[in-house]
Structures are given as structure tokens and as C-alpha cells.
Amino acid sequence: MPVTDPMGARILVYNTVADWLAGPPVNLAQSVETGRTFIGGPPGGYGLTEGNFLRMCDDISVLLSKATQRTLTLTGQWRVQHERDVLSTFMNAVAVELLAAQLTPGGKDAHAWAMS
């Protein structure tokens, strides 16, 4: 089902990013601290390399696109602009991009069905 509201988009983005961080290379044992950054070492950051950050953006774009039936693309310029954000700012920015993304053909059908 396509996500159409900002709160639902933020929750989905938070869960997707938290799940991604829970695996390698970060391996979170506890919850995600949204006041930390991706780049930079602990305690202020999760210590991702630029390559890991870019891979995360690729991975979450695919996951969020499949989950929402929207074509999410986090461009290179967008990534450069947000790579040093704290997680909460990054997640909100992803949610804005997600809601602005075009619906896929399947997403349009699902939206039309839900509204009927």
C-alpha cells in the first residue's frame, strides 16, 4: 500500500534505516540514537565510511520503493547534502523525498483501490 501521510512515511523510514544499521557494519545491539550522525566515530556518530553511507542510501531506496510503491531516488547531490546530518534530520529528509516520489503503476492501482 502506498504511504501517503508524513507520519507514516517517517515511521517507515525510521524502521528501514534502523534495520539497516542493525546489521553489519554497525551491528546495533540496542535502539538507534537519532541524535547521532552516520559519519564520524562514537559517541557522536556510527562510524560509517562514505562507501557504507552510499550503500545504505542505495539499499534503503530499494527497500522503501518496494514497500511504498513509489520510485524513490536519493540523488548524488542529495546524498552529499545529507551525509553529515544527524539521523533524525536525515530520516525526515528521506521521508520528504519518499512522499514526493512518483507512484509506480502498481502504486497507482493500489491507491485507486484504497480510495474506492
**pLDDT of the chain along its 116 residues, tens only?**
457 789 999 999 999 999 898 876 555 656 788 899 998 888 888 888 889 999 999 999 999 999 999 999 999 999 999 999 999 999 999 999 999 999 887 777 776 777 77
What pLDDT sits at residue 47? 87
What pLDDT sits at residue 109? 76
**Closest C-alpha to 3, from 116, 105, 81, 100:** 100
What pLDDT sits at residue 78? 97
**Closest C-alpha to 114, from 63, 61, 69:** 69
What pLDDT sits at residue 2? 56
What pLDDT sits at residue 27? 58
Torsion of CA 29, 15, 17, 46, to 10 degrees: -30
Tell me the Cα Rg of the chain: 15
- Asked if residues 30 and 66 have their Cβ atoms less than 8 Å apart, the reply is no
- Asked if residues 112 and 1 have their Cβ atoms less than 8 Å apart, the reply is no
Q: How many CB atoms lie within 10 A of CB 71?
A: 13
At position 99, the amino acid (one-letter code) is L
- Asked if residues 16 and 64 have their Cβ atoms less than 8 Å apart, the reply is yes
